[in-house]
């Protein structure tokens, strides 16, 4: 607002509040909260999961990346699929990290939901849990056969 061409303090407060809200709405890519991309007819692709979830919430410094990642699970692009699908969990014997077509028996779903019986803590450890939409995207991808697409 102006009074005879002079901006009032309320005007500057409104501008500052608007800038603050815009900045907060952008978020932090390491916070673990990312919006999933729209999925295809059969659910999300692995590429979408990699770009929007694994690379932003899991394959971070000190987490599932590098030469010696926790439980041997490197989730960086180009390595994640072969470290997940059809691979035995190192924490829970007899359970696959990703059992194609069977999200209920895929250890990754157990870990990201904090299901009873998991070893260690819910993933991502020490970070904001994945959103229900992100978890559902991973569940749908597994249910659809866990394709490398």
Question: How many structural domains does the chain have?
Answer: 1
- Maximum mean pLDDT: which of 39-43, 54-58, 60-64, 101-105: 101-105
In a domain, 79, yes or no: yes
Does residue 103 lie in a domain region? yes
Q: Cis bond leading into 13, ω under 30°? A: no
For the ranges 7-11, 83-87, 89-93, which has the lowest average pLDDT?
A: 7-11
CB 106 within 8 A of CB 96: yes
- Whole-model pTM: value is 0.72
- Over residues 11-20, mean pLDDT: 43
Question: Per the domain annotation, does 1 fall within a domain?
Answer: no
Residue with tokens 């002079």: 6
Mean per-residue pLDDT, 53-77: 92
Residue 6 confidence class, pLDDT cut points 50, 70, 90: low
The pLDDT value recorded for residue 105 is 97
Whether 22 is covered by a domain: the verdict is: no
Does 80 score more than 50 pLDDT? yes
The answer to whether residue 135 is domain-embedded is yes
Mean pLDDT value across residues 31-49: 64
Range of the domain at 85: 30-143
CB atoms within 10 A of CB 41: 5
Residue 39 has a pLDDT of 47
The predicted model gives 111-117 an average pLDDT of 96
């Amino acid at each position: 607002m102006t009074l005879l061409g002079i901006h009032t303090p309320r005007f500057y407060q409104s501008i500052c509040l608007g800038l603050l809200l815009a900045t907060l709405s952008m978020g932090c890519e390491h916070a673990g909260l990312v919006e999933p991309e729209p999925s295809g007819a059969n659910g999300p692709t692995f590429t979408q999961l990699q770009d929007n979830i694994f690379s932003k919430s899991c394959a971070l410094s000190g987490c599932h990346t590098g030469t010696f990642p926790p439980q041997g699970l490197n989730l960086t692009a180009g390595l994640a699929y072969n470290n997940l699908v059809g691979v035995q969990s190192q924490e829970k014997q007899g359970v696959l990290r990703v059992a194609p077509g069977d999200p209920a028996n895929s250890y990754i779903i157990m870990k990201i939901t904090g299901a009873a019986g998991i070893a260690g803590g819910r993933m991502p450890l020490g970070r904001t849990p994945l959103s229900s939409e992100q978890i559902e995207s991973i569940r749908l991808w597994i249910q659809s056969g866990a394709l490398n697409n």
